[in-house]
A and B are shown apart, each in its own frame.
Chain A
Amino acid sequence: GAGVSQSPSNKVTEKGKDVELRCDPISGHTALYWYRQSLGQGLEFLIYFQGNSAPDKSGLPSDRFSAERTGGSVSTLTIQRTQQEDSAVYLCASSLYGVQETQYFGPGTRLLVL
């Protein structure tokens, strides 16, 4: 079956522009996570969705970052007024809701802010 997909795979943007990153989780997975992977910070948690609700947004680095999930499926991570320090690989993962379920990761979106 299909795994987690993310689009675009690569995004180059200019400082100050807004970007949207998309995640399609595995069908039926109710939990969805966004992480960021950067050279200086390693792998960091950004936000967690259960269905369409986000009970944990504690990892979003600033109010320029927001995310939503619709229909309990697709999620979009939006970065407004991008800065060079936003350059990173943004990873999405999904899992079935339950105790200690495995998270399945997508291939990531590589974002470069010039």
Chain B
Amino acid sequence: AQSVTQLDSHVSVSEGTPVLLRCNYSSSYSPSLFWYVQHPNKGLQLLLKYTSAATLVKGINGFEAEFKKSETSFHLTKPSAHMSDAAEYFCAVSRAGGTSYGKLTFGQGTILTVHP
């Protein structure tokens, strides 16, 4: 079984300050982990993914995430927020192989607000 918990439903930051969106996961298998972003009335866009290579993963738009197995965490960070980062962010876990191949299990989402 797999599950994802996003620890904050809302995060508010000022433009130019760091962003931290927290994600913990549970998986019976070696997980693949993903962060997606969804702007209003848009589909999901992949920011970055962890697939058992380097534990520090760099994504698009200056985002990065670190896989910490001991803490079962995959937190998303960005050094300096931009107004265009305001959106909803989803952490997801999947398992390669089996009949559920690639199926994503999502967290409940974190809405990021960026203030000028």
Residues of A within 8 A of B (CB): 4, 31, 33, 35, 42-45, 48, 50, 55-56, 58, 91, 93, 95, 99-108
Contacts and interface: CB of A to CB of B under 8 A. Distances in A.
B51 interface: yes
Given A56-B103, A93-B44, A105-B43, 6 more contacts: A33-B103, A42-B107, A43-B109, A55-B99, A99-B51, A100-B51
Contacts of A95: 102
Interface string B90-116: 101010110111111111110000000
Interface of B: 32, 36, 42-46, 49, 51-52, 90, 92, 94, 96-97, 99-109
A105 to B, nearest CB: 4
Nearest to B6: A42
A107 B101 CA distance: 22
Contacts of A107: 42-43
Contacts of A108: 43
Contacts of A56: 99-101, 103
A45 B43 contact: no
Contacts of B106: 35, 42-44
A20 to B, nearest CB: 20
A55 B100 CA distance: 7
